[in-house]
Structure 1
Amino acid sequence: MLKSLFNWKVLLNLLVAIGVFVGLVWLTFRWLEYHTNHGQEIPVPNVVNKSVHDAIKILDDAGLEYEVDSFKYDPKYRPFQVLQVYPSPGSRVKDGRAIQLRVNPKTWAKVAVPDIINKYSGLAFQRLDQVGLKVGDTLFEPSIQKDAVLRVLFKGNPIKPGSLLPRFSTIDVVIGSGPMRNISIPNVVGLTVKEARGVIARSMFEVGLVEHEDGGKDESDIIYYQDPAAGDVRDQGMQMDLWASKKTPAELRDKIEQLNSVYRMKVDTSLPPIRYEEVPAHPTPNYEQAPPPVVPKPEPAKTEAPKTTTSNTKPAASTSTAAKTDNKPKTTATGTSGSGSNTGSNNKTTTTTQQTAPKPKAKKVVVE
């Protein structure tokens, strides 16, 4: 058996197999070297700060591939300007290597408009600022939703929530200013329910109860009664109740009279009208100067003569006259005489001092 192994034919076959294997390995490496450009490297050209069109042309001439990535917008650089290159300029890469270019976009990246319809204006402005949108004009429109956002406008056109706009775009916001007052109620009697809804909506009212005579919901029924009545004044957003039927209002006269007795208030015109006068809450103070008080002039004091008591005995005529003259009281007139000098100086009157004489004793008269 060992002798058969060392046969020249076997050895020849082994040598041929080894040669074929070595040849295949060599051919494989040569093919890989040729296919991958082994040992051939190309320096990355510097295309930073160039436009993306010029950068692509330079890379094509160098035999390099490229990938363009939109970088964050920076207003300090030109639109479509190359800001970064990877691998960095000067690096050596093989032929066909893809070079990544980060380019400044034309404008800011787009953001979605948040849903701020029917939201409070303060919260809506905060949501817009968070996504990077600016509020331009604030427009006010009559609405029952006071201080709520009604619409969002971009360049004068309304936009829906979720629309994409460039970041830092300026939008206008329409806000409700409150309901309008004293709006005339429109007349919808004789119209169909569908037509009445349009008229009521244009008049800034809302449709309330709609009662069909036959119990159906046919929008082609004719309105034969409404509440409030046409011509009344109400605030914006008030509801209007409607009664509809397939018959005409002339055919439903009794029904209309019945509804009038319920919804129409009869005003007694025989009573005189009530007059209302406004009374100020606080009376207006009078700043006119009051006249000086009048001081009454003092009157001179009057002296009264004291009463004398008479005795029961009747004296003679001569003695009685003497007694009368002797019984006169003595008074001091210092008060009256000195009043002239005192009034001349201080205009003050002095009270008169009255001194009454002691009562005289009755004299005993003996008549012989």
Structure 2
Amino acid sequence: MLKSLFNWKVLLNLVVAIGVFVGLVWLTFRWLEYHTNHGQEIPVPNIVNKSVQEAIKILDDSGLDYEVDSFKYDPKYRPFQVLQVYPAPGSRVKDGRAIQLKVNPRTWARVEVPDVINKYSGLAFQRLEQVGLKVGDTIFEPSIQKDAVLRILYKGTAVKPKTKLPRFSVVDVVIGSGPLRNITIPNVVGLTVKEARAVIARSMFEVGLVEHEDGSKDESDIIYYQDPAAGDVRDQGMQMDLWASKRTPAELRAKIEELNSIYRMKVDTALPPIQYQEMPVQEPAYEAPPPVAAPKRESPKPSTDVQKTDAQKSSVKPSSGTESAKPKTTGTSTSGNTASANKPAATTQKTAEKPKAKKIVVE
């Protein structure tokens, strides 16, 4: 078997195979060098701070492609000025390589106006500032939507939500200041429904119920009745109900009288006026209360029987004979006859005052 391996035919085939393999590898690398321009590199020119027109011209002359991308706007640099280059200047790239240019745009990027219509003004201001818009003048306009945003103005023109404006643009905001008071109701009888709507809108009222006589919704029908009546005073934003027909108001007298009986209150002036009389005011009579008797003053109660005996002896005058000394009452007088006449009363008083025997009044 070893002898067969060293046969010249086998060795020849092996040498041919190795030569073919080496040749294919060499041809492959040569093709890659030719296709990729190996060894033919071009340095990236320094085009930073140049205008985009100058940078494109330099790249075309160098045989390089380019891709331009707008960078974040920076007011410190000129519009359309090249701020960044990738690959960096001085790098060596192949012929035809695309160079990316970051260019300062002409102005700020555009932003969408947020939908803040009919929203509270405080929240609307915050939302506008978040997207990059500045609020300039605040204009107040009579409206039933108090403190709500009615319109957004840009350079005096109303803009709708989602309109794109340059970033940091100044916008004016129209805010409702509340309804006006005591506005006269306009007369729309005899006008078409379309004309009446315009008149009511100009008078800052709203159209309420519109009832057509034939049940249609024809805007050319003529108004023959309205509520509230023309000349009445209402606040802004109140609704006006309308009745329309293809006939004229003169042909609908009966219908108008029927509506008047419902929506118009008549005051009968034939009745005599009501007279009001005032009742006389009588002061209440007060009776004087009966006099209250003054309380009797009582002498201090003697502490002992000894003191009582000594007081009787010192204050009562002794009488003649063997008669015992009796204390006199306070009602006795100096006359003897008067004292004898008052004895029965004194006796009765003593009997009534029997429970108070210890109490003695000395003259």
TM class by smaller structure:
0.5 to 0.7
Following the alignment from structure 1 to structure 2, what is the Cα–Cα distance between the partners of residues 15 and 259? Answer: 121
- What's 2:262 paired with? 262
- What's 2:219 paired with? 219
- What's 1:241 paired with? 241
- What's 1:57 paired with? 57
| Alignment deviations for residues 142-194 of structure 1 (CA, whole Å, 9 cap, x no partner) | 21112211111111211110111111011111111222233222222222323
The offset of 1:199, in angstroms, is 2.2
Matched residue of 1:66: which SS?
strand
Following the alignment from structure 2 to structure 1, what is the Cα–Cα distance between the partners of residues 229 and 5? Answer: 125
Q: Map 1:234-313 to 2 at 5 A.
A: 234-267=234-267
Aligned length: 273
What amino acid sits opposite 1:203 in the alignment? S
- What's 1:304 paired with? none
- What's 2:133 paired with? 133
Following the alignment from structure 1 to structure 2, what is the Cα–Cα distance between the partners of residues 89 and 105? Answer: 21
What amino acid sits opposite 1:142 in the alignment? P
What amino acid sits opposite 2:172 in the alignment? D
| Alignment deviations for residues 92-147 of structure 1 (CA, whole Å, 9 cap, x no partner) | 22222222221111111111110010111111111111111011122222211122
- What's 1:151 paired with? 151
- What's 1:330 paired with? none
User: How many percent of aligned residue pairs carry the same amino acid?
Assistant: 88
The offset of 1:216, in angstroms, is 3.8
Provide structure 1 residue ranges, at least 5 long, that are not aligned to the other structure: 274-368
The offset of 1:247, in angstroms, is 2.8
What amino acid sits opposite 1:79 in the alignment? P
- What's 1:124 paired with? 124
What amino acid sits opposite 1:86 in the alignment? Y
What amino acid sits opposite 1:39 in the alignment? G
Following the alignment from structure 1 to structure 2, what is the Cα–Cα distance between the partners of residues 218 and 71? Answer: 58
- What's 2:352 paired with? none
- What's 2:179 paired with? 179
- What's 1:343 paired with? none
Matched residue of 1:137: which SS?
strand
Matched residue of 1:80: which SS?
coil
The yes-or-no answer on 1:30 pairing with 2:34 is no
Following the alignment from structure 2 to structure 1, what is the Cα–Cα distance between the partners of residues 193 and 170? Answer: 42
Matched residue of 1:126: which SS?
helix
The offset of 1:15, in angstroms, is 5.1
- What's 1:95 paired with? 95
In the superposition, the TM-score normalised over structure 2's length comes to: 0.68
Provide structure 2 residue ranges, at least 5 long, that are not aligned to the other structure: 274-363
| Segment of structure 1 superposing worse, 130-139 or 210-219 | 210-219
Following the alignment from structure 1 to structure 2, what is the Cα–Cα distance between the partners of residues 27 and 156? Answer: 73
Following the alignment from structure 1 to structure 2, what is the Cα–Cα distance between the partners of residues 244 and 156? Answer: 39
Following the alignment from structure 1 to structure 2, what is the Cα–Cα distance between the partners of residues 57 and 114? Answer: 41
What amino acid sits opposite 1:245 in the alignment? S
Following the alignment from structure 2 to structure 1, what is the Cα–Cα distance between the partners of residues 214 and 98? Answer: 78
* Residues 73/271 of structure 1: CA separation in 2 closer, same or farther (3 Å cut): farther
What amino acid sits opposite 1:73 in the alignment? Y
Matched residue of 2:194: which SS?
helix
The offset of 1:72, in angstroms, is 1.0
- What's 1:86 paired with? 86
What amino acid sits opposite 1:200 in the alignment? I
The offset of 1:49, in angstroms, is 1.2
Following the alignment from structure 2 to structure 1, what is the Cα–Cα distance between the partners of residues 105 and 217? Answer: 57
In the superposition, the TM-score normalised over structure 1's length comes to: 0.67
What amino acid sits opposite 2:261 in the alignment? S
Following the alignment from structure 2 to structure 1, what is the Cα–Cα distance between the partners of residues 153 and 203? Answer: 24
Matched residue of 1:111: which SS?
strand
The yes-or-no answer on 1:106 pairing with 2:101 is no
- What's 1:318 paired with? none
What amino acid sits opposite 1:188 in the alignment? V
- What's 1:198 paired with? 198
